[in-house]
């Protein structure tokens, strides 16, 4: 059995100001978006965007991720709790962010950006899609460092004991690393390859929806469901139920994209 290193969540502190690993992973994710986005623009894959647009679009994206991620967690996972304790909704530092909520937040934030800049929304989302997975990978590393969102019990040789979660020595799947590999690295490779040349409008976005939804659905079989939710209908987790519509929407979007191109 492996043992989680139980990292100090604080990288360094200067007086009352502390820099945490999870926050650092968010910064790293945004850096990936800027660097990869500008590379794509300079290599003629900007879908009508200029280099300066990448910096401005990031600001909208950051707001969409934070607001959407938090509100998604509130609405999808703990609506009753936050209805009874509305003051806790703004306590982002206490934990609780939802990818699916953040995804919706980014869709709306980019729509606002495109409306202001008079850009086409669907092709802008096609531009953004390949930039996202490495940011997701950074987030999963942050989860692993914090010892949060561990997996279900396992007897596999790489099972890991998370002392932050279990007082007894229980081996669990290091599901954060599974998600790092699937939703992060593998999805990045697939989308970067798929978007290396022009595709019909909506095709790359559809591929992202299918790829993320599929990888997340698979990884959830190893990830422990939230204690306050457990498994839902058909023994599927909330993450799996939220991923299924993404897969279906992605398939429909890719079919529409190629049909429209013909």
Position 19 scores a pLDDT of 87
- For residues 227-250, average pLDDT: 92
Helix/strand/coil for 89: coil
Position 240 scores a pLDDT of 95
Label residue 47 exposed, middle or buried (CB < 10 Å: 0-12, 13-18, 19+): buried
**Residues 28-60 pLDDT 10s:** 999 999 999 999 999 999 999 999 999 999 999
- pLDDT confidence tier of residue 218, bands split at 50, 70 and 90: very high
**Residues 99-140 pLDDT 10s:** 888 889 999 999 999 999 999 999 999 999 999 999 999 999
- pLDDT confidence tier of residue 84, bands split at 50, 70 and 90: confident
Provide the token pair at 64.
């969409």
Helix/strand/coil for 262: coil
**Residue with token string 């990448």:** 54
Those residues whose C-beta lies under 8 Å from the C-beta of residue 204, and which sit 6 or more positions away, are 125, 126, 127, 129, 130, 191, 194, 195
- pLDDT surpasses 90 at 83: no
Position 93 scores a pLDDT of 62
């Amino acid at each position: 059995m492996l043992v989680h290193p139980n990292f100090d969540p604080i990288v360094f502190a200067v007086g009352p100001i502390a820099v945490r690993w999870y926050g650092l992973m968010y910064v790293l994710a945004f850096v990936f978006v800027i660097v990869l986005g500008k590379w794509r623009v300079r290599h003629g894959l900007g879908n009508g965007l200029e280099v300066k647009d990448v910096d401005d679009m990031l600001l909208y994206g950051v707001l969409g991720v934070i607001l959407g991620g938090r509100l998604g967690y509130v609405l999808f996972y703990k609506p009753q709790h936050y209805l009874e304790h509305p003051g806790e909704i703004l306590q982002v530092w206490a934990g609780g962010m939802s990818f699916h909520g953040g995804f919706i937040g980014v869709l709306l934030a980019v729509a606002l950006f495109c409306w202001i800049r008079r850009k086409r929304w669907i092709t802008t989302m096609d531009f953004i899609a390949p930039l996202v997975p490495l940011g997701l990978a950074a987030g999963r590393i942050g989860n692993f460092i914090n010892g949060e969102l561990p997996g279900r019990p396992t007897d596999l040789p790489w099972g890991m004991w998370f002392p932050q979660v279990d007082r007894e020595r229980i081996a669990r799947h290091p599901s954060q690393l599974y998600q790092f590999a699937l939703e992060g690295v593998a999805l990045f490779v697939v989308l970067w390859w798929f978007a290396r040349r022009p595709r019909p409008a909506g095709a790359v976005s559809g591929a992202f929806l299918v790829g993320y939804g599929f990888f997340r659905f698979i990884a959830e079989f190893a990830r422990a469901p939230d204690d306050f939710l457990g498994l839902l209908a058909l023994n599927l987790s909330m993450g799996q139920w939220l991923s299924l519509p993404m897969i279906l929407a992605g398939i429909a979007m890719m079919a529409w994209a190629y049909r429209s191109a013909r």
